[in-house]
Amino acid sequence: MNNQPFVSIVIPCRNEEVCIVQCLDSIIANDYEKDRLEILVVDGRSEDGTREIVERLAQRYPFIRLLDNPKKITPVALNIGITKATGDIIMRVDAHARLKKDYILRCVESLNKYGADNVGGIMKTLPQGGGLLGEAIVLSLSHRFGVGNSYFRTHTSTPKWVDTVFGGCYRNDVFQKVGLFNEALARGQDIEFNLRLKKAGGRTLLVPDIVTYYYYARSDLRSFWKHSWTNGVWAILPFLYSPIMPVAWRHLVPLAYVFGLLGSVTLGLLWPPFLWLWLAIVTVYGLASLAASFQIAWRERGPRYLAVMPLAFAMLHFAYGLGSVWGVVKAARHMVVTFFRKKKQLGAVVP
């Protein structure tokens, strides 16, 4: 008799025909009993061949199901999958991810062994596009100078209690205790949920020998800038829609950096001594960037990285920080509009 817990894997996706096959193939190849597994692909009305690919695989593998997500955003897809799931354990998998062969089993074992409410592993980011620049972008997202103490990106050698993980493998009853994902958050809903879980007394564990390979598609500067900018915006907007602090402090560091740069140079135009503060910020950042770039070049045995890593770090931090500044502007505007709208409504009902 098979005593393995039944696992429901939820995959939110939209227009992922390039990645969905390798994602599903990696799950199918996992050494977990298939009669104890269901895969729920929640598709946001894809306009490429994603749905057809999933439907073909579902005909071959009956444990694969295609669900529809009419609102087309990730948190809605996750909640549709969770409410339809029948598993004792619910696992989120990204369509860009490829799982190591023992991923599912190791997640389930770690949930039980450590008494965790959520388990995840390290994410090994791979460039989907080739070239030195694509490699540099990926390396910037896997280094502490690039992403701070995001341990699932920078990795750890031992299991570690953390604030969030990539993907996540949850006990089903977590969603009865904490609720579902916040559908107002088009981005960052996983971070907010895991912080909400932590506030409710739940624990998230990062286990380093649980491995996901993630294909990062933004290997050119324009796409990288745009993605980092959007992430920066969504480091701020969740504050409008969540009752808790919805991000970790590391997500606000680029905002402080850009505010420091812009504030010091603006004040310097009014009083020149402030330009020394601007110079100090630029100098400290530049030295830290060069040190991190040198470390990467040494580790990768590639002096060529010294030429591109400072650019990748600068693009990541400045685009993210500027996006966060814009997020502050949007949040402030939203609060002002909401205030006057409520004031107007109160005025309309008061005799």
Write out the DSSP string of 47-77.
SSSHHHHHHHHHHH-TTEEEEE-TT--HHHH
Report the C-alpha gap between 341 and 34 in whole angstroms.
Answer: 54
How high is the mean pLDDT in each 10-residue block of the chain (351 residues)? 87 95 97 96 96 96 97 97 97 96 97 96 84 91 94 92 95 95 95 96 96 84 93 96 93 96 94 95 97 96 94 97 97 91 68 53
Q: Is the dihedral of CA 154, 158, 159, 163 positive or negative?
A: negative
Kind of pairing between the strands at 64-68 and 37-43: parallel
| Number of DSSP helices (H) and strands (E) in the chain, helices first | 13, 9
| pLDDT tens, position by position, 207-253 | 999 999 998 767 788 999 999 999 999 999 999 999 999 999 999 99
Residue 1: predicted pLDDT: 41
**CA triplet 46, 180, 76: central angle to 5 degrees?**
15
What pLDDT does 347 receive? 66
**According to CATH, where is 3.90.550.10 located in the chain?**
7-219
Express each pLDDT in 247-276 by its tens digit: 999 999 999 999 999 999 999 999 999 999
Which pLDDT does position 117 carry in this prediction?
97
The Cβ-side half-sphere exposure at 105, using a 13 Å CA radius, reads 11
Q: Which CATH architecture has domain 7-219?
A: Alpha-Beta Complex (3.90)
Global confidence as pTM: 0.91
What integer pLDDT is reported at residue 219 of this predicted model?
Answer: 76
C-beta of residue 82 within 8 angstroms of C-beta of residue 168: no
